[in-house]
Amino acid sequence: MEIVCARADISRPTLYKVEKGEPSVSIGVYVQVLRVLGLTEDLAFVAKEDVLGRRLQDEALSKPRRAPKRMVVHHEKEKDHG
C-alpha cells in the first residue's frame, strides 16, 4: 500500500477512501491509483452504456402527478311549465 501511495502521490488515508469508494475523493485520484495499478483501461467501463442500469434508474424517478380533476356541480333551475 505504501508503494501505491508513493507512486500515486497520495496519502494512506486517501488511498483508504479510494478503497472504500468514498465520493469525496476526486476522480483524478482514482485515475492516479488506476494508473499505478495498471488498470487505466478499466476507465472505459465507467462511462459505458448500461441498459439495465438506465431502466432501473428511470423507474426510480418519480413520475409527475397531476392534480385531481375538479368536480363541477351544475345546479339547474326548475322551470315552471304551466
Q: Which amino acid is at 56?
A: L
Asked if the structure places residue 22 within a domain, the reply is yes
- Using an 8 Å Cβ cutoff, are 4 and 36 in contact? yes
Q: Residue 81: its pLDDT value, please? A: 55
Question: Over the stretch 45-77, which tens digit does the pLDDT of each residue have?
Answer: 776 778 887 888 788 776 667 777 777 776 666
Asked if the structure places residue 34 within a domain, the reply is yes
Mean per-residue pLDDT, 7-26: 94
Residue 59 in grid coordinates: 423507474
Asked if the structure places residue 70 within a domain, the reply is no
User: Considering the chain, what is the average pLDDT of its residues?
Assistant: 83
Asked if the structure places residue 80 within a domain, the reply is no
Query: Domain count of the chain?
Result: 1
Domain encompassing residue 24: 2-60
